[in-house]
Structure 1
Amino acid sequence: MYERHLIASLDTTPLRPALREILTHPARLDELISDMGVPQGCLVGNTTAELVPHDSEATQVVTRSYRRFTDILTDALRRAQAAGEVTGTARPEAQAQLLLYVVQGLSLVSRAGLDRTAALAAIDTAIDALRA
């Protein structure tokens, strides 16, 4: 279900606003607080932090999830490069990997508290770096 939502979200023009929406999800964890009042973070990110590399099955699941995320983003970025919307000076695979690191880093940091303004500024900086 998440993959279908991600693909549908990225199948828009222009791409950068859609990417911003996806990346701001971890920065909005204050809006997604659990009943206990504690941000739960991302399931895949939490699994990475807590189980990888001690659990080979968890490692495989996380690796597949991250690969699928970057594959989906790579396809969207490749289309946006062809349309001249994002810079062509970097490989779309590298751009997608950077965005994975941004979203997972924000998800992890948000568990300890997050300066929402700083997080949004960092996301905007990452998105602006894609500008053609």
Structure 2
Amino acid sequence: MARPRKFEEERAVEAAMRAFWSDGYEATSTQTLCEATGLGRSSVYNTFTSKRDLFERALILYMDAKTSNLIATLEDGSRPVRERLRTILEWAVEPDADDPAGCLVVNTTVEMAPHDEGIAERLDRDQRRRLAALKAAIEDGMRAGEIDQGKDAPALAHFIISTVAGMRVAARGGAGRATLTSIADTAMDAI
């Protein structure tokens, strides 16, 4: 019995996501996408219409998964806020073993956002979601006395996002666990 087309598409989008995450949009060839997804060239284009369409779907999949996980972690009221924030930083120290180095959002921001308005808008919407969740968690920490109330919650939210992005770039450049842990420690001291 053949698998449903929807399942095949989802599997192909996830495989393409990993290829784009590893090599970026421009460096990921159609042949690489065919090898990653197990689809033939005509199937890739019949299913996704274009490389850019497939990329956008892969980026959406990535952002939905990562941002949903971040929001769920930040909203976990059973743990102190500082512990939740440390968890976010630790993901950049020790990502899942089967994940490519770096961050698809950071890579896309650098590679595509300056010249692709549609991608830039998607990235901006995702960043606003992450900033709102971080700001809310930081404000909870301020109310609970875990974070100094004299600090600027929106600025701290931007700081955490920028720190995580920088750690992802550093990891892609070869920074080891000790270096990344020291960055996370420094960030926690600033919060």
TM-score by length of 2: 0.60
In the alignment, the residues of structure 2 paired with residue 50 and residue 32 of structure 1 have an alpha-carbon distance, to the nearest angstrom, of 25
Deviates more, 1:40-49 or 1:68-77: 40-49
Q: Deviations over 1:51-80 (max 9, x none)?
A: 121111111111111111111000011111
Q: Is the 2:71–2:130 contact (alpha carbons within 8 Å) kept by the matching residues of 1? A: no
Greater Rg, structure 1 or structure 2?
2
Letter in 1 for 2:91: H
Aligned to 1:99: 160
- For structure 2, the residue ranges without an aligned partner over 5 or more in a row are 1-64
Aligned amino acid, residue 83 of structure 1: A
1:16 equivalent among 76, 79, 82: 82
1:7 alignment partner in structure 2: 71
| 1:11-31, Cα deviation, whole Å (9 max, x unpaired) | 2331112111111212224x5
Summarize deviations over 1:34-58 as a string: whole Å, max 9, x none. 5xxxx34212111112112111111
Aligned residue pairs, count:
125
For the aligned residue pairs, the C-alpha RMSD in angstroms reads 1.7
CA separation in 1, counterparts of 2:148 and 2:137? 13
Q: In 1, distance between residues paired with 2:98 and 2:174?
A: 12
C-alpha distance in 2, partners of 1:120/1:102? 12
The residue number in structure 1 matching 2:110 is 49
Deviation at 1:32, TM superposition (A): 2.4
Q: Distance in 1 between matches of 2:139 and 2:93?
A: 26
Q: Alignment partner of 1:65: what SS?
A: helix
4+ runs of 1 displaced by more than 4 Å? none
Partner of 2:9: none
Q: Structure 1: any 5+ residue segments left out of the alignment?
A: none
Are the counterparts in 1 of residues 81 and 140 from structure 2 also a CA contact under 8 Å?
no
- TM-score normalised by structure 1 residue count: 0.84
Higher relative contact order (CA 8 A, sep 6+): 1
